[in-house]
Structure 1
């Protein structure tokens, strides 16, 4: 991870996301959502958790924050975009050609959690924007939530 991006994420977390404005989630909120999802998975099991993670109006959707869940092979299990659920997404690349899932998987396996930066379409703006995603590995799942810069 680039030091500048980590410093920005930390700064946003300390400020509580004030720089993002009312319509955008903060780094701290993304981390909290992933933590809540990991706990929900542990308490309710995989099937019920994935059902809840995929619910369009569920507790794991807040403004531009949403969960993405993949298994270690890159199969989409939960996402705001239902076209990614049930699909092998290991080869998806961002606007700059970065292999997003490969970077996420490597971090999950190496450290268990952390931030990955890439470019992704923002569902609120409809534009491709810089995104930083917090992820945590839980068993054979990678649970993620990102913030748009």
Structure 2
């Protein structure tokens, strides 16, 4: 019986360690807000072509674990994307999440009345490669939105 308890303890300990490791891989809301603020400052301090290229670099300073930045004009045009470069240069105004939510339209509406906000949606998590619940923090600067989010698998 003692051996079963030891094995059970080791298994539970390993599972708890895995849960802690999985959580450590995830960005926090505070980190998302800080990354967006850093991106906004970077866009203001650099030529837009350089800023957008740097934000879109998957190995650059604006990608950290499952946290990456995206930049959109207020008409829905994607200017930078740290996770999927195929989106750059495309108008994403009618993009829906897996629940049919037109989240870009919602972002643009929110940006009309708020300079910063959080938004809930579902999107592909770069760590799990699955559609997961996501909370995205956005800040409006000039005619753009800079956003970065956290996943809730």
TM above 0.5: yes
| Aligned equivalents of 1:77, 1:99: Cα separation in 2 | 18
Question: 2:60 matched to which residue of 1?
Answer: 58
Q: Which blocks of at least 5 consecutive residues in structure 2 are unaligned? A: 1-19
Q: Is 1:42 aligned with 2:25?
A: no
Once the two structures are superposed, the pairs formed by residues 5-24 of structure 1 within 5 Å of their partners are 21-24=23-26
Question: 2:89 matched to which residue of 1?
Answer: 86
CA RMSD of aligned residues (A): 1.5
Question: 1:68 matched to which residue of 2?
Answer: 70
Give the secondary structure class of the aligned counterpart of 2:75. coil
Q: TM-score of the superposition, structure 2-length normalised?
A: 0.82
| Aligned equivalents of 2:86, 2:47: Cα separation in 1 | 23
Q: Is 1:107 aligned with 2:85?
A: no
Count of residue correspondences: 132
Give the secondary structure class of the aligned counterpart of 2:34. helix
Pairwise CA distance, 1:45:
2.8
| Aligned equivalents of 1:29, 1:137: Cα separation in 2 | 18
Give the secondary structure class of the aligned counterpart of 2:24. coil
Q: Is 1:145 aligned with 2:144?
A: no
Which protein has the larger Cα radius of gyration, Structure 1 or Structure 2?
2
| Aligned equivalents of 2:93, 2:62: Cα separation in 1 | 23
Q: Is 1:119 aligned with 2:126?
A: no
Give the secondary structure class of the aligned counterpart of 1:21. helix
